[in-house]
Amino acid sequence: MLLYTPTMIALLAGAWSLAAAAKAVAESPNHLRERQQSYGKISPKVVIVSMFSPEAEVWYENSLNSSVGDLLANNITVRGLSPLYPHVHCNEQGEVCQLTMGEAEINAATSMAAFVFSGLFDLTRTYFLLAGIAGVNPKLGTLGSVALSKYSVQVALQYEIDAREMPINFSTGYLPYGAYAPNEYPSIIYGTEVMELSENLRDVAAELAQQAELVDSADSADYCTRYVTSSGVYAAATASPSVIKCDSATSDVYYSGTLLSEAFENTTKLWTNQSTVTYCMSAQEDSAVLEVLMRATVWGLVDFSRAIAMRTGSDFDRPPPSVGAFQHLRLLDQNGFEIAIRNLYLAGVEIVTGIVAEWDSVFYEGIIPTNYIGDIIGTLGGEPDFGPGSLFDGKGFSVEPSGETSLTKRRILTRRKGRKTGGWM
Ligand SMILES: *[C@@H]1O[C@H](CO)[C@@H](O)[C@H](O)[C@H]1NC(C)=O
Ligand SMILES: *[C@@H]1O[C@H](CO)[C@@H](O)[C@H](O)[C@H]1NC(C)=O
Ligand SMILES: *[C@@H]1O[C@H](CO)[C@@H](O)[C@H](O)[C@H]1NC(C)=O
Ligand SMILES: *[C@@H]1O[C@H](CO)[C@@H](O)[C@H](O)[C@H]1NC(C)=O
Ligand SMILES: *[C@@H]1O[C@H](CO)[C@@H](O)[C@H](O)[C@H]1NC(C)=O
């Protein structure tokens, strides 16, 4: 494979703009496409992944003042991106790119798939920085906290009974697929329940992010003081924002309140087979993006060990004691949005510039993961350290020339009160 040096990219950019090159590739007949791709592809060192405008704007406005430069120097139209955000943006050299996917799981998965499978970019050595704001768990962080995750859990992928109709001894109306009680491991697996990222890269990213001088504000600090309790369970909420290592939940439903947040805290702990609560950020996209990056890795287009999931706290996922859930969600102003957006950039730009600065010495070759990485069914190979075990005997998914796949277990249909659901045996 041909890899480009920054100088070559700069030369290409001068002679023929990156956007024009990508457009030409997209529009050329198939027989020309392969040749053009060999010199027309942009191979970014880092791609920043935003969900909606404020998370993107903070980069456009501030990166000019960093070595990243103008992120709007190249706008590349990619088929299948969100109608609201139809371009991938790259700096002059094509070293750092950014795209906005649109919010929640469908937008995230569709946009990211359109991008990585577009064939317009060489993403084989690219680092992906998911950079979004989120609801923060006051047990582990506060407004403006910057969290870097190892696990992303699709917490609402469950049965749900309205809590007013649930059995008297249930602690929540959410019930894992195939289970008979909330604290049972799901026995029907869809494959997207849990994604595990490289812990070594997570730690390197946290070290870079720690160089940032994070901002706080008097107004948000004011709301945080409401979390003072005699037990100290929410002590993290009353501290200053900092870089923390803890996990992210993905749910289309923007849940809020103590009971749902605790239920999903339990879900995260159970599904990742951990003994402590590590759930600290509630968002709507991470698992969707990571599933796409994993599938692209299977086909050699992306390297899943280069994915970083970063979230900053813009609001608490549950109210302080003596404040109602609805009042907390909709009536009171927590004033966390602005510092979350600013810290997203401040921490994020340290990670981006850190990767670019040490490209030749460290990041080109990559940070070797020492933990299991990938999904709950072992798609990338290895044995997951959570869940019921690999469906591919630890070898990962592959397709033989005959079309046969490496799946070693059989799909079953289970019948529950007349309704059939799919699962794996
Ligand atoms: C650019 O960076 C300098 C030095 O860190 C800082 O003083 C200045 O306020 C920044 N300007 C903008 C527009 O962010
Ligand atoms: C890229 O698009 C932005 C608007 O999203 C615009 O401000 C900028 O000028 C465009 N860049 C180029 C090179 O056309
Ligand atoms: C709830 O009670 C029923 C009936 O006693 C029992 O079978 C079930 O295991 C209990 N479930 C939980 C989650 O405790
Ligand atoms: C979370 O799990 C703990 C321990 O099993 C349990 O006591 C608690 O009721 C659960 N919380 C919710 C909201 O399900
Ligand atoms: C995870 O926990 C479940 C039960 O809670 C268990 O069945 C499964 O074997 C555990 N997986 C690993 C890899 O430890």
Q: For 227-259, what is each residue's pLDDT tens digit?
A: 999 999 999 999 999 999 999 999 999 999 999
Q: Is the CB of 258 under 6 A from ligand 4?
A: no
Task: Check pLDDT > 80 for residue 376.
Answer: yes
Q: Is 77 in the pocket of ligand 2 (CB under 6 A)?
A: no
pLDDT score recorded for residue 400: 79
The pLDDT, as a whole number, for residue 399 is 81
Whether 184 lines ligand 3, by a CB cut-off of 6 Å, is: no
**Lowest-confidence segment of 34-48, 72-86, 101-115 by average pLDDT:** 34-48
Q: Which residues line the pocket of ligand 5, CB cutoff 6 A?
A: 185, 273, 385-388
What whole-number percentage of the chain has pLDDT above 70? 87
Tokens for 271, please give them. 């599904």
Average pLDDT over residues 46-73: 98
Q: Is the CB of 110 under 6 A from ligand 4?
A: no
Ligand 4 within 6 A of CB of 259: yes
Dist. CA 64 → ligand 1 center (Å): 10
* Ligand 3 in reach of 179 Cβ (< 6 A): no
Report pLDDT for 425. 47
Which residue's CA is the nearest one to ligand 2's atom 10? 72
Give me ligand 5 centre to Cα 414, in Å.
21
Q: Which two tokens stand for residue 134?
A: 């989120």
Contact, 298 vs 116, CB < 8 A?
no
pLDDT given at position 38: 43
Does ligand 2 have an atom closer than 6 angstroms to the CB of 298?
no
Write down the residue that tokens 């796409």 correspond to. Answer: 292
Task: Specify the pLDDT at position 5.
Answer: 40
State the chain's mean pLDDT as an integer: 90
Indicate which ligand has the atom closest to the C-alpha of 187. 5
Q: Which residue has the higher pLDDT, 345 or 37?
A: 345
What tens digit of pLDDT does each residue of 123-147 get? 999 999 999 999 999 999 999 999 9
- Tell me, what's the pLDDT at 401? 75
75 lines ligand 2 (CB under 6 A): yes
Nearest residue CA, atom 9 of ligand 1?
Answer: 65
> What is the mean pLDDT of the segment spanning 79-95?
98
pLDDT for res 404? 76
Q: Identify the band that residue 416 occupies on the pLDDT scale cut at 50, 70 and 90.
A: low
Output 26 or 219, whichever has higher pLDDT.
219
367-381 mean pLDDT:
98
**Residue 414: band (very low, low, confident or very high) from pLDDT cuts 50, 70, 90:** low
The alpha carbon of 213 and the centre of ligand 2 are apart by a number of angstroms equal to: 30
φ and ψ at residue 138, rounded to 5 degrees: -65, -10
Percent pLDDT > 90 in the chain is 84
Mutate to test the pocket of ligand 2, among 59, 75, 81, 90 (most ligand atoms within 8 A of CB): 75
Residue 9 predicted with pLDDT over 90: no
Taking 50 as the threshold, does the pLDDT of residue 421 lie above it?
yes
Confidence label for 31 from pLDDT (cuts 50, 70 and 90): very low
Nearest-angstrom CA–CA distance, 274 and 253: 24
| pLDDT score recorded for residue 402 | 79
Instruction: Give the pLDDT band (50/70/90) at residue 34.
Output: very low
Ligand 1 atom with minimal separation from the 65 CA = 1
Ligand nearest to the CA of 212: 1
pLDDT band for position 405 (50/70/90)?
confident
Half-sphere CA count of 112, side-chain side, radius 13 A: 31
How many C-beta neighbours within 10 Å does residue 206 have? 19
Give the integer Cα–Cα distance in Å for 293 and 283.
Answer: 18
Residue 415 has pLDDT above 60, yes or no: no
DSSP per-residue codes, 299-329: TTSS-GGGEEEEEEEEEESSPPTTS-HHIII
Residue nearest to atom 9 of ligand 4 (CA): 171
Phi and psi, residue 329, nearest 5°: -75, -40
Nearest-Å Rg of the Cα atoms of the chain is: 22
In the structure, what pLDDT confidence band is assigned to residue 410 with cuts at 50, 70 and 90?
low
Atom of ligand 5 nearest to the CA of 389: 13
Residue 67: band (very low, low, confident or very high) from pLDDT cuts 50, 70, 90: very high
- Name the pLDDT band for 418 (thresholds 50, 70, 90): low
Check whether 6 has a pLDDT greater than 50.
no
Q: Tell me the three state secondary structure of residue 38.
A: helix
5-34 mean pLDDT: 43
